[in-house]
Every structure is written in structure tokens, then in C-alpha cells.
Amino acid sequence: MCGIVGYLGEREAYPVLLKGLKRLEYRGYDSAGMALLNPRGELSIYKTKGKVAGLESFVNGQDMSGSNGIAHTRWATHGEPCTENAHPHASPSGRLALVHNGIIENYATLKNKLQAKGYAFRSSTDTEVLVYLIEYIQQKEHTDLLTAVQLALRVVVGAYAIAVIDREHPDMIVAARKSSPLVVGIGEEEFFLASDATPLVEYTKKMVYLKDEEVAVLQRGKELRIVDLHNIQTTPEIQEVEMDLTQLEKGGFPHFMLKEIFDQPDCISDCMRGRIQPAEMRVFLSAVEEHKERLLQARRYVIIACGTSWHAALIGKQLIEHFCRIPVEVAYASEFRYAEPVIGAEDVVIAISQSGETADTLAAVEQAKRQGAFIYGICNNVGSSIARATHTGSYIHVGPEVGVASTKAFTGQVTVLTLLALTLSREKKTMDDQLFEKIIRELSLIPGKMKQLLTLNESIAALAPIFTYARNFIYLGRGYSYPVALEGALKLKEISYIHAEGYPAAEMKHGPIALIDAEMPVVVIAVRDGLYEKVLSNIQEIKARQGKIIALVTEGDTEVTRLADYCITLPPTLECLEPLIASIPLQLLAYHIAVCKGKNVDQPRNLAKSVTVE
């Protein structure tokens, strides 16, 4: 979690670092800080608890000159969020400053050893131990900064992306990574550094994604040098990264989350572009084309993911099983990695991750790879760790998602899973032509139907204040709508802090029905599908216990509409595509309830966009 930025060149570093921190704030916002080497050769550190805006006010009026600097926005792991624990951390003499994203697992052992040598620590972080260790090595071994960093990292256990600057070497930044992302941007006579490409794209398209245990040496007037921990040099692999800057701004919306909800019709069109050809009744995914045999011969598929991506996985399971008759299991990546999974060369593992950096998903991918499985990634962030760790995959192409609550990534993931299931079904000949054509035709209408749905924004906003009283919510759905209910509940709890549970509607009578009373809002996805009548009975059961029913119904519905307290009417679609439609009003409902409750929807408490720790 945590975001790192660095700059070395001819410009003033401060504005570059500040803007970069704002772009990376989705990675954590417990504290923010910056270290600058000024023209007088002084190393100054500025840091505050809280958000980047707080740092900006804190440094207002201070001398922020310097063309070499590093900065950090924190999601606390070791040590509470406070100024002392904020990064950058200084070495004991104040000569070095270091920023870190990750966890130094053996920090306690290292700290004890350094304390035994007389060092006193100022923070309770694992990171401070690393900067102390680097300076200790510099002094003991009389080494330069690069060697000291390499030697220190050789004894570190854990995950890191770090950047270090040294008062004695003002023209240099040393950066390194293992299991946490780090990108170097190469400009004309200048270098940029960040946890992802978003802070860099406005300065350069040339990016180098560091690999595990690589150390980058950024030096004024020299080419980028990449070495490993034993100083073996490699040639930097420069990639051209294109990103539309307007996608990184709010575009007139009050929050990124609302903008991203409204982005969905375009995102889904982008996601399908070139992949579905309704005129030719063809679906094309290059990954399937290239690895057809391996994908078709699989004994079974296992989908691994976390959070919202796991909900998309549950929909993917239904799609692949229904369309292709291939057995599919879905596992939380965090459980899978420690479960001694029975997995091998006959299996295909699909890893779903918006960020492509989720530590548990990445570790699960590595585990499955070691056991011989073929890995298919479904990611959003191009060039991310998971995208690079997989054998093949399909990007969802929905553009950067900044709001911590995932919205457009979810519908993008479901779209790619639909395309994957359709492509495989074609190859396996498990779906008749008529149904295939019907699904493709309907899929191409989904962006238009999403646009239609977004006109409900105001009526859903009007509904939201009625429910701010609630301390609990229940979300119900069946079949394809069950994961949508889970996702609706997750959206509500993460941004409004209202406890919400998603259930398969028929499960309610096995326990949760005990919770229903006149205070309990129950959101029911009651669209016209094969299970409509069953869901209708569930609604009757809630009604009989005075629960407040908010129903998602299909245009033309009369039966549920008669029973429900509030209805949100959806355009009709095919059952298998319903998640792409029904999830949008639930995103809007969660958003407006959170706004009514005065919550920070883009940066909810305790959360970070990219969970790069276990």
C-alpha cells in the first residue's frame, strides 16, 4: 500500500513530488512526507499525519527548493498513523532519507541488533530500521550508497519498494524493489520514480518497471543503471506507456467514485473494442487464440482474487460453467496461498486483480505457477506485477481507477470474463449458434443500457437520505445476481461504514431472517430471470416481517413493484449479463448514502486502493 515518488533532474522537485503524491494517494493516506536535497547541500524532511493536502499546508511558506527529492504517502502497517511514523525516515546522522512501501518482516531482529550497538529509534516503523541499517553499513564498511543499500537488502526479509537519497551524494537516488511495485520514468536529463506510472505520464512515456531484487541507480548526467543485489548489471527494459491524463482527473464530478461509475458505458465499450464483432458474430481474445490448446485441455479452472475481484470471479465461475461446461472453483487468494492447494499442470488458474499488485493474489499466482498450473491474468493496470507474473491474460482496459471503492473495474472484469467464456465456448462447441449470437448482440447493447441506467442517478440520490439511519443492510440475489448482492453490500460497507451482508436470497430463511424487522432495509435483486418467482416468495417473507424492501426490478414488472417499498427499474437484458446492469444502481445507492452521511467516499477510512501487504 503506500505510494512512493522521486525526482532527480533540473526542475524543482517539490511540485513534481506533490502532484505525484496526489496521484498516488489512493494507495494510502495516513500520513505524507517529502525529503529534499537543497542547493546548499542540506537534506530537509517535511512530514505530517494525514493527507497530502495537510503536507501541502504544512510546508506552505517554507523553502522547498531542491532538484533531488523523494516523497511518500502512507498506509500504516507497523506503527500508528502519526508524524513520527511518517516517511521519509532519516538515518541516525541525518545524512540519508528513505521512503518505503512494503513490510520488512525481520525488522524486529534487525532493530534489536542495532539497538545493541547503541542506536536509538525515533519511530515504531519497520522502515526506520532499514535506513539505520544502510547508514550502519556505510560507516562500518566505508562503502558508497549503492553498495550499502545492496548489502542491507541482502539481509532483509520481506517486501519493499524503496528510494534513498544521501546528502553526501546529492546527484543520486538509489531505488530498489521486491514484491512491491516501482517504476522509473526516463526524461531528457531527468529521472522520475513512482509506485505506478500515473505520476510519471505527464513528463515521459519511457518507463522501466523494476523487477524483484533489482536496484536502480538514478544519477544526474548519466544513463539509468540497473543492478541486482550482487551488483550484476542488466540492460533496462524501456517500455512506452500511453495514458490519457484526463482519465486521472475528476472531470467535473465531485468524487472519483461517481466519475468512475459514470465512466462505465465508455469503459465497457473500450473493454469490448476489437474483441467482439457483432456483425460477424465473433468474439476474439488474443490470449485465447495464442494458448487455445492449453486452455481447452484444462481439467478445471480455478479463479483466485480478493474483494470486488473475487465477486467478479463468482460471476466468472457461472459464466464459464454455463457456457463451456468446464468445472470452475473460486478461491480467495489469501486462503489459496496457504491451503496447500491441489493444483497442477492440468489446471488453469485465472487471477483477477484491478491493481495487479494485490500481495495475496500475486503470492497465489506464484504458488500456482510453482505447482505447474497455467496462469491467465485479468488485470487493469498495464505492466503491473500480476500482469507480468502470469503466462497470458487479458487487460480490462477501463482506465485508471482512483476511487478506493472499485466500480468500473468490476464491470470491466465481468465483461472480460463474459468474453472469455464466450470465446472458450466457441472453441469447445458447447453453445449453440443462436444463443451465442443472442448474447453477443445483447453484449453490444450493454453500454447503451448502462447510459440509460445512469439517468437514475437523481432518483437514487433522493432515496439515499431515507436510509442514513440504518446500522445494517441486507442484500439478496440468486444465481448471477448473488455475487452482485455481495458486491452491493461491500460497496455500502466500505464507504458508508454501515454494516451490510449479501446473501443468496433463499439462504435467508436459514438464519438471517431473524434479523428482519421494521428497521431493516433489504435490497433485493428481483429482475425477470429464471428464479424470479422464487425471489418473489423471498420478498413475501421479508414483507411479512415488516422489512423495508428496495427492489431492483425489470421494466414492466408489476408483482415485485406491488410489494416493494421502493423500486429501481432496470432495462431488460439476458440473465447472464444482468450483473453488468444491476451492479450500477447498487454502486449509486452506496455512493449517495455515503455522501449523505458525510463520508469521504474516495478515501474511506482504514482502506487503500492497492493492498500490497498480506
Active site residue 259: no
Nearer to ligand M6R, 456 or 607 (CB): 607
Cα–Cα distance, 383 to 210 (Å, whole number): 11
Determine which helix (DSSP H) or strand (DSSP E) holds 529, and give its type and residue range. none
C-alpha cell at 379: 488485470
| 493: Cα separation from own chain's centroid | 17
Q: Which residues of 492-521 are buried (b: 16+ CB within 10 A; e: fewer)?
A: bbbbbebebbbbbbeebeeeebeebeeebb
Active site residue 2: yes
With CB atoms as reference, the residue minimizing the distance to ligand M6R is: 307
Nearer to ligand M6R, 309 or 481 (CB): 309
Pairing of strands 206-209, 239-240: antiparallel
**Amino acid letter, residue 61:** G
**Amino acid letter, residue 609:** K
Pairing of strands 96-104, 347-353: unpaired
Cα–Cα distance, 419 to 283 (Å, whole number): 7
Nearer to ligand M6R, 538 or 583 (CB): 583
Catalytic residue among 22, 49, 259, 609: 609
CA neighbor of 303 nearest in space, from 355, 365, 346:
365
Cα–Cα distance, 96 to 115 (Å, whole number): 18
Nearer to ligand M6R, 306 or 389 (CB): 306
What phi and psi values does residue 144 have, to the nearest 5 degrees? -80, 175
Nearer to ligand M6R, 128 or 357 (CB): 357
Q: How far is the CB of 407 from ligand M6R (least distance, A)?
A: 8
Instruction: Give the C-alpha distances (Å, rounded to integers) separating 61 from 84, 180, 209, 484, 577.
Output: 22, 34, 36, 50, 55
Q: How far is the CB of 490 from ligand M6R (least distance, A)?
A: 6
Q: How far is the CB of 27 from ligand M6R (least distance, A)?
A: 11
Nearer to ligand M6R, 1 or 276 (CB): 1
Q: Provide the 8-state DSSP code for 405.
A: S
Q: How far is the CB of 611 from ligand M6R (least distance, A)?
A: 5
Q: How far is the CB of 368 from ligand M6R (least distance, A)?
A: 15
Binding site for ligand M6R (CB under 6 A): 306-309, 353-355, 358, 361, 404-406, 490, 494, 607, 610-611
Cα–Cα distance, 148 to 153 (Å, whole number): 9
Nearer to ligand M6R, 165 or 389 (CB): 389
Q: How far is the CB of 314 from ligand M6R (least distance, A)?
A: 13
Catalytic residue among 2, 271, 306, 379: 2
Cα–Cα distance, 495 to 403 (Å, whole number): 10
Q: Provide the 8-state DSSP code for 506.
A: G
Cα–Cα distance, 51 to 74 (Å, whole number): 9
CA neighbor of 351 nearest in space, from 335, 374, 371, 323:
374
Q: Which residues are annotated as catalytic?
A: 2, 609
